[in-house]
Structure 1
Amino acid sequence: MTIAALLGNPNVGKTTLFNALTGSNQYVGNWPGVTVEKKEGYIDKSIKIVDLPGIYALDTYSNEEKISKNFLLNENVDVIINIVDASNLSRNLYLTMQLKQFKKPIVLILNMIDVAEFKGINIDFNKLSKELNVTVIPISASKGKGIDKVKMLLMSSNFLKHLDDNDYHFNSEQDTYEYIESILKKCITYSKKNIVTPTEKIDKIVLNKFWAYPIFLTCLYFIFKFTFSYVGQPMSDFLDSSLNDYLVPIVENLLSSSSPWFKSLIIDGVIGGVGSVVVFLPVILSLFLGISFLEDSGYMARAAFIMDKLMRKMGLSGKAFIPMIVGFGCSVPGIMSARTLESEKDRRLTALLVPLMSCNARLPVYALFASIFFPKNQTLVVFSLYILGILLAFLVGLIFKNTLFKKDEEPFVIELPEYKMPEMRSLFIHTWDKGKGFLKKAGTIIFSISVIVWFLSNFNFNGMTDINSSFLSNIGRFINPIFIPLGFGKWQNSVSLLTGLMAKEVVVGTMGVIYGGDLSQALKTAFTPLSAYSFLVFVLLYTPCVSVIATMKKEYGLKMTAFSISYQLILAWIVSFIVYNAGKLVF
């Protein structure tokens, strides 16, 4: 089997090319020992393509660069597919020069050739191929142009043999950048000057000092509107009604002759716990589809640039905003991606703030409570929680900057890619990857906790019992006084927060098991709109799940992990207390 390593700078269309070449024949995991995504795909079962992390060079020490370098050195790579931005070759070819030194066959993919042509950049592909002594193929990955030619080349039986005859040596005494410029002078001519590109026109508005922040907030708001008003929540409501009106009666009928405890386990434990979480899959998929659209369009890099000024007030650069954006998906990769920041101070401070970003695991809790208590304002309520997390991260960062992290700030350098219309296939594949992770968690952690919660809520030392005399009720009543001043002081709610330490989705699953029957009606008797919002604020801010805690301990040690757990618990209690008690004065 032929093994091809796919490399390129960030934002050059590497993922789009990978998806176009491999289609659905992809396998996603993590590189051994680090939470950096590892993608492998196949062409016709004869060519394996390994999508390596996006990097600018191989001469520094980020995890992404180490992974790429070690893979090229230690794995049996047959060919390197190096994708570059055709409109910015002078920068992109720096990595190409470094790749040539591995003495592997290289196929140089010139992506965004349409953008280069619009800018009046005319590339002599044959001459560039001869100068670099590599195979050159121009493509437009987002439009699907040139993909078939890449496939045909990789599948050609004489392809590798031809490449093995190539000479990969260049003058190492010459600066890599001087060498690149000398080549480009021979291969590129310019037919237009002073071209104002669509990207430049858009950036005059999007990066305007008066409009930048309102536009950013508006983009986020419309993503939540799409999620909770138009697509995600309506589909979740349909699934929920289908589950309760059709599936549960069918299962009850099938189990009519079973023992009461087994029937309760299946309906109240498994369906009530797992089912009450799984119905929110459309909400999660819709939200990630929106966020992925912003990422693939090139706007998220602008968001980091926009946030730089505010981040500076916290002692961080705009680059730290990227791990926080990742944290909207999951805090684990958000904390891990803080590794890419230059200073230890930035890494630690960012890791402490990332859990305040509202991860997708909290979304089922938000969606459930917002649909019950705020049916006409679901979008606004959920949006407010995300904004609250960002504002509190800013406030906490400001406090930590002036107390725990009094050190110099780091410079901020980020590339702003060309805007492009995201490729829908790539969007859906990326979104489904997140959905599969959610379903996997539902089938493992949430299922296990639901069964445990069912057992604890139906048994005590004397055997099967009423829920009010169960193990679970005793645990809940022990910790319940902590939450009474916050407005949701019932033992059922306390226990749900406790089990939420395993995974935040379990909060809903636990409530589905404990309250049973019509969960919406049960919650209406347990909460008021004000106490419901106070509960959501606590869920937003309190100690993250065990996976996040384990990651924090692995990355930064026990002392910082204990501090993170403690400060988030205290912060969650204080803010929820303020929300509830201030709300009572107003409403």
Structure 2
Amino acid sequence: MITAALIGNPNVGKTSLFNLLTGSNQYVGNWAGVTVDKTIGFLNESVQIVDLPGIYAMDTYSNEEKVAKNFLLNEKVDVIINIVDASNLDRNLYLTTQLREFNKPIILVLNMIDVVEKKGITIDYDKLSKMLRVQVIPIVAAKNKNIDKVKETLIEGKFLENFSTNHNHHNHSHQHHHHSHSERAVYRYIGIVLRHCLSKPHDKVKSSTEKIDKIILNKFLAYPLFALIILIIFECTFSWVGGPLQNLADDFVNNSLIPYLHSLLSFTSSWFSSLLIDGIVGGVGSIIVFLPIILTLFFCISILEDSGYMARAAFLMDIVMRKMGLSGKAFIPLIMGFGCSVPAIMSSRTLESEKDRKMTALLVPFMSCNAKLPIYALLTAALFPKNQGLVIGSLYLFGIIIAFIMGKVLRNSVFKKDEEPLVIELPEYKVPTLKNLFVHTWDKGKDFLKKAGTIIFSISVIIWFLSHFGFSGMVGIKDSFLAIIGQVLTPIFKPLGFGTWQNSVSIISGLAAKEVIVSTMSVLYGASISTIVPTIFTPLTAYAFLVFVLLYPPCISALATIKKEYGTKMMLSMMAYQIGVAWIAAFAVYRIGSLL
């Protein structure tokens, strides 16, 4: 079997090419001993493709670089597929020159040729192939253009044609010595190659990306525009699209579905009817109605990612992140934390230094994940109807401020190390396709529905059981197991202003999944939760409750991810310090608010 190693800089279309070559015939794991994704796919029964991590060089500073270098040195590799951004050859070819030193056949795949043509640049592929002694194939991965040529080259073994005896001899003396030439010498060599193989128009026309960046990255406009974009996303999520659709869904569940089920199940036993309506439909239904809000938020985030703006946001945030002792690249996992803590914590593994990885993972849970949206939406709609967007926005901001403070504390105590420079690709701007936006949105929304159908369903049934049964069998809710558990915990939350046993139990159940807090309250208070909220909370106690929910430990899935990535000790440390931070912050909000 032929083994092809696919490698390239980040953001050059490597994943797109891998997916086009292997389709669904792939599997993902971790490299032994390293928390870096290992993805292997098959073009056919005779060609295996290993997708190596995106790297800029073979300097072995990061886990990704170590993994790539070790694989090329120690594993059976028949051919290297080096994918590059054809519009940035002067930078991308640095890695190519290092790959040549491994003395293996190389297929140099020039991606984004359409961008090159738009810029009026012409590339002499034959001359480039001869000068670099590699096979060159131009493609456009986003449009599936010329991918068949790559497949044909791999299947028919054509990559061996350019791998001559002279090539072997030339490279043998330099094999694996990645620091045998200075960076300056390598870039000088790349410059000579490109002068012979590449021609640019004399009158350089500014690309649309350059024109847009003049505004987007303007030193006066960049941050106000960033704030405006975030504000538009919140308004779209809660006021213009997601909010109205959520109201329609809520109306359907509470005013149509539940009354219909009551009449349909009127002949059954009361406990069965209660389990189905109050436990299952009440619990799961109270979460499903928030799906429109979550899908709207995911759709907006997908637009930022696919358009190329998200990388600019990381670039802009580098100065701010430095104040916390992190590089701007850490902004990406943190911003992902607004969607879900699990992928955000996992994405922290892509950061270069161990300090950045651990610090980012510890700060991600302070970013308000989408699972908390149902709780925010429920309490703010009932108690802050005219300022719902403003109050929810303040919670997101509060989480960011706490993350910033804790970042400074961690930087000056646990993580006293040198800072890493930011190296990030600013991709070309492009108009996101509706198909991709809907696919990305649905992929993320599907996880929410899966959670609703499994974890939330299970927890809703357990909560119903614990709230209807006690030591003497089926009892009223005040004598139930749940009431006993809640009463033990209530003194902890009493100083925070929301110390009822029902609220205490809801917070504990939220460790399974944050959405469960709403379904637990719905089951425990035994009424339409949106109508009963104003009788349980005042605006001040509701805000203190939301602050606690915002800051206390994330769901069990996120905790399991922390344990898997960084070990049990770090997971337990994170739980302890987050409970402490959440309690102190909620206490401060309630006490200061009471004084005011």
**Compared CA separation, residues 526 and 49, structure 1 to 2 (3 A):** farther
Aligned counterpart, 1:55:
55
What is the correspondence of 1:457-468 to structure 2 with a 5 Å cutoff?
A: 457-468=467-478
Letter in 2 for 1:477: Q
State the Cα distance separating 1:499 from its structure 2 match.
0.8
Tell me the TM-score normalized by structure 2.
0.85
Letter in 2 for 1:392: I
**For residues 317 and 310 of structure 2, what CA distance do their matches in structure 1 show?**
11
State the Cα distance separating 1:84 from its structure 2 match.
1.9
1:528 equivalent among 506, 522, 538: 538
Select between 110-119 and 221-230 the one with higher mean Cα deviation: 110-119
* Percentage identity across paired residues of the two chains: 61
**For residues 240 and 202 of structure 1, what CA distance do their matches in structure 2 show?**
41
Letter in 2 for 1:162: K
**Compared CA separation, residues 44 and 130, structure 1 to 2 (3 A):** same
Aligned counterpart, 1:418:
428
Query: Are 2:137 and 2:149, in contact at CA under 8 Å, matched by a contact in 1?
Result: no
- SS of 1:488's partner is coil
**For residues 78 and 257 of structure 1, what CA distance do their matches in structure 2 show?**
71
Aligned counterpart, 1:291:
301
1:325 matched to 2:321? no
Q: What is the RMSD of the two structures over their aligned residues, measured on CA atoms?
A: 3.5
**For residues 466 and 252 of structure 1, what CA distance do their matches in structure 2 show?**
20
Query: Are 2:36 and 2:350, in contact at CA under 8 Å, matched by a contact in 1?
Result: no
Letter in 2 for 1:117: E
Query: Are 1:28 and 1:40, in contact at CA under 8 Å, matched by a contact in 2?
Result: yes
**For residues 254 and 42 of structure 1, what CA distance do their matches in structure 2 show?**
53
**For residues 341 and 430 of structure 1, what CA distance do their matches in structure 2 show?**
23
Select between 449-458 and 98-107 the one with higher mean Cα deviation: 98-107
State the Cα distance separating 1:418 from its structure 2 match.
2.6
**For residues 16 and 451 of structure 1, what CA distance do their matches in structure 2 show?**
42
1:583 matched to 2:596? no
What is the correspondence of 1:120-199 to structure 2 with a 5 Å cutoff?
A: 120-132=120-132, 136-142=136-142, 144=143, 147-150=144-147, 152-153=148-149, 156=152, 160-167=156-163, 169=167, 171-172=170-171, 173=174, 175=181, 177=187, 180-199=190-209
Aligned counterpart, 2:177:
none
What is the correspondence of 1:159-558 to structure 2 with a 5 Å cutoff?
A: 160-167=156-163, 169=167, 171-172=170-171, 173=174, 175=181, 177=187, 180-558=190-568
**For residues 239 and 576 of structure 1, what CA distance do their matches in structure 2 show?**
31
Aligned counterpart, 1:566:
576
State the Cα distance separating 1:52 from its structure 2 match.
5.1
Letter in 2 for 1:387: L
- SS of 1:483's partner is helix
**For residues 591 and 267 of structure 2, what CA distance do their matches in structure 1 show?**
50
State the Cα distance separating 1:479 from its structure 2 match.
1.0
Select between 318-327 and 32-41 the one with higher mean Cα deviation: 32-41
Aligned counterpart, 1:89:
89
Q: Note the residue ranges of structure 1 that are not aligned, 5 or more in a row.
A: none
**Compared CA separation, residues 162 and 502, structure 1 to 2 (3 A):** same
State the Cα distance separating 1:371 from its structure 2 match.
3.0
State the Cα distance separating 1:131 from its structure 2 match.
4.3
Select between 447-456 and 103-112 the one with higher mean Cα deviation: 103-112
Letter in 2 for 1:56: Y
- Aligned length in residues: 581
Letter in 1 for 2:257: L
* Partner deviation per Cα, 1:138-188 (whole Å, 9 max, x = no partner): 44455x3xx2432x3356599524334441746433856555444323211
**For residues 76 and 436 of structure 1, what CA distance do their matches in structure 2 show?**
38
Letter in 1 for 2:197: C
State the Cα distance separating 1:487 from its structure 2 match.
2.5
**Compared CA separation, residues 121 and 104, structure 1 to 2 (3 A):** same
State the Cα distance separating 1:340 from its structure 2 match.
3.6
Query: Are 2:31 and 2:67, in contact at CA under 8 Å, matched by a contact in 1?
Result: no
Query: Are 1:327 and 1:354, in contact at CA under 8 Å, matched by a contact in 2?
Result: yes
**For residues 377 and 16 of structure 1, what CA distance do their matches in structure 2 show?**
43
**For residues 2 and 249 of structure 2, what CA distance do their matches in structure 1 show?**
44
State the Cα distance separating 1:495 from its structure 2 match.
0.7
* Partner deviation per Cα, 1:116-153 (whole Å, 9 max, x = no partner): 334442212343345455554444455x3xx2432x33
Letter in 1 for 2:328: G
Query: Are 1:52 and 1:68, in contact at CA under 8 Å, matched by a contact in 2?
Result: yes
